Amino acid sequence: MTRPLLAALTAATLLSGCSLVPDYLRPEAPIPSLWPSEAAPAAPAKPDTPLLGDMAWKSFFTDPALQYLIEQALENNRDLRVAALNIDVARSTYRVSESDLFPHLTAGASATADHSPKSISQASPPKASDTRRFNANLGITSFEVDLFGRLSSLEEASLEKYLATEEARSATRITLIAEVANAALTLFGDRALLNLTNETLESRVSSLELIQRSFERGVASQLDVAQARTAVETARVNRARYQRQVEQDKNALTLLVGAPIDEARLAAAGRDLGGMQFVEDLPTGLPSEVLLRRPDIVQAEHTLKAANANIGAARAAFFPTLSLTGTFGSTSPTLDTLFSAGTGAWSFVPQITTPIFDAGKNFANLDSAKASRDIAIAQYEQAIQTAFSEVANSLTAKATLAAQMKSQSDLVAATRDSYTLSRARYDRGIDNYLTVLDSQRSLYSAEQDLISVQVSRLSNLVTLYKVLGGGVS
């Protein structure tokens, strides 16, 4: 008695598999085939050199303090946790869509008791009657045979959304690594500026004391004392400002890391920004090789594929739908004979429906699916263009920042010589103290700018690491 049900399921399996999803063609990348010449990219990688996307982040960030901070952030950052949990949600949604492709087998049992009064009895003589019925069965309820690929299209769309969510987590991870590194560099830079200001303040206080004693001996003027005091108070103002910035930098870094920071592990960090090194000869390769590997672009492509699959589901809605319902079990008037011989029962209810008039609903759904696909194409192309611009800007900045840091270092050396000479001339009574003060201010400003350029150069390397696709391992 189960043959009709088994035959129907076998036929359903054989009939399934038709797909109305449009053939997917990756849109051509709307970017030049080479990086801009002014970007001065690194030479193409050697055959045995992996692209940056295959480089572990620890191979790029070799500073122990940065490695400690990044490890803490990868373990504790809440945004990354949310991204990981979003993968679980997408995976579960995909499994739900996938399950619709298979029959759902259910087991059930029921008992029915009816009482008919004497007044409606057809018996002669009339009498009341009681009827009992017990059922136990296995059944398949409204299983849709995927004749035109509606369910498989929805399953494919769910799979692509799940894969897009995985890439979103990789993009979030790379972004987090870069943000932690840049936040740490900002902290190290402000701490270096604070140290420079403390040294400058100490030097200016010593100068003020010397000038004060010279004034008391009648050698220096009161104007010299006032100018030296102005320089001291200016340094104190800057010290307070940098102290505030350092504390705010710590708070921002703690938020990114997602856990308290061990100050002892950062104590020596950033004292020599000029000596801090990252991998500079990044294997850029060709734009199409690099950009199409970026997690955010791969994510956009999976989103595009999902939108393309939804068109197949919308097309399938124009065709008939076949659903199967069937049960097999036992029926008996008494519970103790429910599974006795001769109590077997079955039912098989195939149903086919076809759309005739829906006031344009299916056409509207198809138009919406096509428009969503076109939106996804535009977003995918824009993601590639944005990535190309980010890489080109970072490569250009890399070349100019290296030259700027060299020039700034030379400027610091020149202003230091100028300050030494002006101080010697003042001590010999050749120049007034205003000349010394101007040279001192120029040196302090040049040293501040050098620290800022050092931070900018390192930060640009971090950004270049990020926009080239980073390393996720």
**pLDDT given at position 41:** 52
Where do we find the tokens 């205003």? 434
Both tokens of 35, joined, read 């990086």
**pLDDT given at position 434:** 80
Secondary-structure percent of the chain, ordered helix, strand, coil, rounded to 5: 65, 10, 25
| CA 133 to each of CA 110, 329, 336, 384: distance values in angstroms, whole numbers, following the listed order | 8, 13, 11, 68
Amino acid at 278: F
In angstroms, the CA 61 to CA 107 distance is: 58
pLDDT digits (tens, 9 = 90+) for 179-223: 999 999 999 999 999 999 999 999 889 888 888 888 888 877 888
Provide the pairing of β-strand 321-332 with 129-145. Answer: antiparallel
Provide the pairing of β-strand 321-332 with 344-353. Answer: antiparallel
Domains in the chain with CATH codes: 1-21+103-114+129-145+320-353 (2.20.200.10), 31-100+148-319+362-467 (1.20.1600.10)
CB of 140 within 8 A of CB of 325?
A: yes
Burial class (CB in 10 A: 0-12, 13-18, 19+), 175: middle
Digits of tens for pLDDT over the chain (473 positions)? Answer: 445 545 555 555 555 557 788 999 999 988 888 877 666 554 454 555 555 556 788 888 888 888 899 999 989 888 888 888 888 888 888 787 777 777 877 888 888 888 778 777 677 777 777 788 888 888 877 788 888 888 888 888 999 999 999 999 988 999 999 999 999 999 999 999 999 999 999 988 988 888 888 888 887 788 888 988 998 999 999 999 999 999 999 999 999 999 898 888 777 665 667 667 676 666 666 777 778 888 999 999 999 999 999 999 999 889 888 888 888 888 887 777 777 787 878 888 888 888 888 888 999 999 999 999 999 999 999 999 999 999 889 888 888 888 898 999 999 999 999 989 988 887 887 877 788 888 888 999 999 999 999 999 999 989 988 888 876 56
Reported as half-sphere exposure (CB side, CA atoms, 13 A), residue 73 has a value of 26
In angstroms, the CA 42 to CA 61 distance is: 19
**pLDDT given at position 85:** 84
Indicate the pTM of the whole model. Answer: 0.82
Instruction: Please give the torsion angle defined by the CA atoms of residues 311, 317, 318 and 323, in that order, rounded to the nearest 10 degrees.
Output: 140
Dihedrals phi, psi of 140, to nearest 5 degrees:
-120, 120
CB of 189 within 8 A of CB of 270?
A: yes
Query: Which residues is 325 bridged to in the sheet?
Result: 349
Cα 471–Cα 301–Cα 156 angle in degrees, nearest 5: 115
pLDDT digits (tens, 9 = 90+) for 216-243: 888 778 888 898 899 899 999 999 999 9
For the chain, what is the radius of gyration of the CA atoms?
38
**pLDDT given at position 414:** 94
Reported as half-sphere exposure (CB side, CA atoms, 13 A), residue 82 has a value of 6
In angstroms, the CA 40 to CA 68 distance is: 32
Helix axes 150-216, 295-316, angle to 10 degrees: 150
CB of 391 within 8 A of CB of 290?
A: yes
How large is the greatest C-alpha to C-alpha distance in the chain, in angstroms? 143
Both tokens of 330, joined, read 């036992």
CB of 51 within 8 A of CB of 282?
A: no
DSSP-derived secondary structure for 236-281? HHHHHHHHHHHHHHHHHHHHHHTS---GGGGTTTTTTGGG-----S
**pLDDT given at position 298:** 92
- Residue 29 is given by DSSP the state P
Both tokens of 267, joined, read 């104590």
